[in-house]
């Protein structure tokens, strides 16, 4: 796992000092070593976290005649198999790294090399003969890649902060991205919070041609699971057939993800997904697997460590458990937020940072259960999709005139179980619609368009793509049953821009590589060949996953509902986090940036503190944005 960067500037020779600063800004992603390569107007930089071929894997890496150079971030799990084929074709290797496999694969197959790679990756290959950069991002967006382009200059990196080392890059605020952030808590590709800096979408590659005296870009999608064109019945129908194929696919994925030349472990939350990964790792390892869990003192609603211990005992793991209190959590807020390249408001970013920090003291690589919910149907909103068809059968007058007004009158909160259930019911009701995409969108959104108009001093009419249209287009693209359409939407949207972005940023901030076996290409394709009712069976979420692997799970986990990687943020906003919140989101600072209506924020905060309504997500959204804005001061224009 590493950090990559580079620049192509037709106006001047490579600024070596700039390239060095860009690389140094990624030191946390690759603390082991760093290097660079220049070719007149082209420069490539790399920071390395050594995982495979510790002695000889230094980058950039070149082909035999040094006409191609590559910088690479990620892991290719089938590199040994690919390497054998390339050796048979006459390619000469000087390392045993997966990085060198990519460059020789590109020599052999050109852009088609992407079809053969299995793993997580973001890389750039410079072809000095063609004067072309070839950049690509893995199929599901596990690894990030961002870039800036103004016609004569192209800059890319793993992180925005690296691009901003160039003082000539404008810091223009992107209002469309701000609208996305208020809607979703994160900013989906291709936008970033800066107008002229873009994210490369998952499953896409980009060519940067400088051969004719100008720089021209071409972006192309090379992979989409929707292109498999499964029909409404799916191709895997019988439960026993599905279980057999799923077990083989996940076992093979876990085996491949365990390849490493350094110590390896696993996150163990106590939930279904990570417990299955740990169970399989234990069967394939000749020594106890190191497992890592995090919990919160005094908050049983948010603590799954007891379940994690059961899984550890069952699999005889070398278990490490970190119990934190509110002081630990509040203490890392400045460090986490100061390292965000753009506003990002998933509150599990804080425990993810902490478990990554503690895990990184023992291992360099950890496997996680991320991706299982999006592939197999693990979220409450997926269950909501199942329940919606029954609720819609209730007479409309009864729903609108009696049930919904009564529910909206009742208090809700995120810090006690009864009120937490009420909050979830209200969220379910708020998203009910005859249209599937609109339902899903409403369950995802933080601030609706109407709420944003009240929150903001001005609401621009031209913001680019309507977020609802984005979700609707994804739903339409997948030609399958209703459940798989929603899962596909989450796989392509929520997963890369929220879950995977969170894990990558927080783990790499602690120089820890996190691998995600549930996002193996073959496993994902198998899952989307299954009927949706194999994943969501009545009220049972991830049905096929649990049925397949219940023999390696403690019995107590079989029927557990998903809890999630959570913290008692709702309660903290009223007490422990109050002073910090008001120091950042106060009338003076809010009026200085001119974006928010302070009176609207005050109404939201007062309502939350009175327990009349849970506004923890909205408050965190505002708090994190205001913190980011105060630190970075983008040009509003």
Write out the catalytic residue numbers. Answer: 2
C-alpha torsion 127→129→132→133, nearest 10: 10
What is the torsional sign of CA 47, 52, 58, 63?
negative
Length of the chain as a residue count: 637
Q: What angle do CA 295, 300, 305 make, to 5 degrees?
A: 35
What DSSP string runs through 9-54? ETTSS--HHHHHHHHHTTGGG-BSEEEEEEETTEEEEEEE---SST
DSSP element (H, E) containing 572: helix 569-574
Query: What proportions of the chain, in percent to the nearest 5, are helix, strand and coil?
Result: 45, 15, 35
User: Which region holds residue 85: left if phi is over 0, alpha if psi is between -120 and 50, else beta?
Assistant: alpha
Rounded to an integer, what distance in angstroms lies between the CA atom of residue 193 and that of residue 342?
Answer: 6
- Crossing angle for the helix pair 436-444 and 380-391, to the nearest 10 degrees: 130
Residue 96 burial (10 A CB sphere; 0-12, 13-18, 19+): middle
CA pair distance 111, 108, nearest whole angstrom: 9
- Could you count the other beta carbons within 10 Å of the beta carbon of residue 421? 11
Q: Which helix (H) or strand (E) holds 86?
A: helix 79-88
d(CA 191, CA 182): 14
State in Å, rounded, how far the first CA of the chain is from the last one. 37
Tokens 């870039």 sit on residue: 147
CB-based contact 452:182 (threshold 8 Å): yes
Pairing of strands 119-127, 68-76: antiparallel
- Beta strand segments in 355-440, E: 365-367
Which residues, 6+ apart, have CB-to-CB distance to 218 below 8 Å?
A: 206, 207, 209
Which residues on adjacent β-strands are paired with residue 9?
Answer: 153
Distance, CA of 564 to CA of 93 (rounded, Å): 44
If phi > 0 it is left, if psi is from -120 to 50 it is alpha, else beta; for residue 504 that is alpha
Strand partners, 137: 122
Q: How far apart are CA 245 and CA 253, in angstroms?
A: 12
Task: Give CA separation, 447 vs 170, 300, 302, 589, 602, in Å.
Answer: 28, 29, 25, 21, 15
CA distance 310 to 308: 5
Among the listed residues 21, 624, 543, 242, the one whose alpha carbon sits nearest the alpha carbon of residue 616: 624
Place of tokens 């849970």: 614
């Amino acid at each position: 796992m590493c950090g990559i960067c580079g620049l192509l500037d037709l106006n001047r020779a490579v600024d070596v000092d700039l390239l060095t600063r860009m690389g140094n800004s990624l030191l946390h992603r690759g603390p082991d070593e760093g290097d660079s390569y220049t070719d007149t107007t082209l420069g490539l930089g790399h920071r390395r976290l050594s995982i495979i071929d510790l002695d000889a894997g230094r980058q950039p890496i070149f082909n035999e005649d040094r006409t191609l150079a590559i910088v690479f971030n990620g892991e290719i799990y089938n590199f040994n198999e690919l390497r054998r084929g390339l050796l048979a074709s006459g390619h000469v290797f000087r390392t045993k790294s997966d990085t060198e496999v990519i460059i020789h694969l590109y020599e052999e197959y050109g852009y088609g090399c992407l079809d053969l790679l299995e793993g997580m990756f973001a890389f750039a290959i410079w072809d000095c003969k063609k004067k072309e950069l070839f950049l690509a991002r893995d199929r599901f967006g596990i690894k990030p890649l961002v870039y800036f382009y103004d016609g004569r200059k192209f800059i890319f990196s793993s992180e925005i902060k690296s691009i901003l080392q160039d003082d000539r890059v404008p810091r223009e605020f992107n209002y469309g991205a701000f609208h996305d952030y208020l809607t979703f808590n994160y900013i989906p590709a291709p936008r970033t919070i800066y107008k002229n800096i873009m994210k490369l979408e998952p499953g896409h590659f980009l060519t940067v041609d400088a051969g004719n005296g100008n720089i021209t870009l071409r972006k192309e999608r090379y992979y989409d699971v929707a292109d498999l064109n499964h029909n409404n019945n799916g191709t895997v129908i019988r439960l026993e057939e599905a279980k057999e194929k799923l077990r083989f696919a996940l076992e093979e994925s876990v085996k491949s993800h365990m390849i490493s030349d350094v110590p390896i472990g696993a996150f163990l939350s106590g939930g279904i997904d990570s417990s299955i990964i740990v169970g399989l790792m234990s069967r394939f390892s000749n020594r106890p697997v190191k497992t890592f869990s995090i919990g919160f003192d005094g908050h049983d609603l948010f603590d799954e460590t007891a379940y994690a211990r059961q899984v550890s005992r069952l699999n005889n793991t070398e278990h490490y458990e970190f119990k934190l209190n509110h002081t630990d959590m509040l203490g890392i807020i400045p460090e986490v937020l100061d390292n965000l390249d753009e506003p990002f408001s998933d509150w599990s970013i804080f425990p993810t940072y902490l478990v990554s920090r503690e895990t990184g003291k023992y291992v360099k690589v950890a496997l996680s259960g991320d991706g299982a919910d999006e592939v197999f149907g693990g979220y409450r909103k997926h269950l909501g999709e199942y329940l919606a068809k029954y609720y819609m059968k209730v007479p409309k007058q009864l729903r609108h005139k009696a049930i919904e007004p009564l529910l909206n009158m009742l208090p809700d909160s995120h810090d006690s179980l009864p009120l937490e259930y009420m909050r979830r019911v209200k969220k379910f009701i708020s998203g009910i619609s005859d249209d599937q995409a609109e339902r899903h969108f409403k369950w995802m959104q933080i601030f609706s368009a109407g709420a944003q108009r009240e929150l903001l001093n001005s609401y621009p009419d031209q913001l680019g793509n309507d977020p609802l249209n984005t979700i609707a287009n994804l739903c339409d693209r997948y030609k399958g049953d209703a459940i798989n359409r929603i899962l596909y939407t989450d796989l392509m949207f929520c997963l890369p821009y929220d879950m995977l972005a969170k894990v990558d940023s927080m783990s790499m901030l602690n120089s820890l590589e996190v691998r995600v076996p549930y996002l193996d290409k073959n496993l994902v394709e198998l899952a989307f060949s299954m009927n949706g009712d194999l994943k969501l069976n009545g009220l049972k979420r991830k049905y096929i996953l649990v049925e397949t692997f219940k023999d390696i799970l403690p019995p107590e986990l079989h029927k557990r509902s998903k809890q999630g990687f959570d913290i008692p943020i709702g309660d903290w906003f009223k007490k422990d986090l109050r002073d910090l919140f008001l120091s950042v989101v106060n009338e003076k600072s809010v009026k200085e940036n001119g974006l928010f209506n302070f009176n609207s924020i005050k109404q939201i905060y007062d309502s939350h503190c009175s327990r009349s309504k849970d506004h923890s997500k909205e408050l965190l959204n505002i708090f994190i944005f205001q913190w980011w804005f105060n630190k970075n001061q983008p040009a509003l224009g």
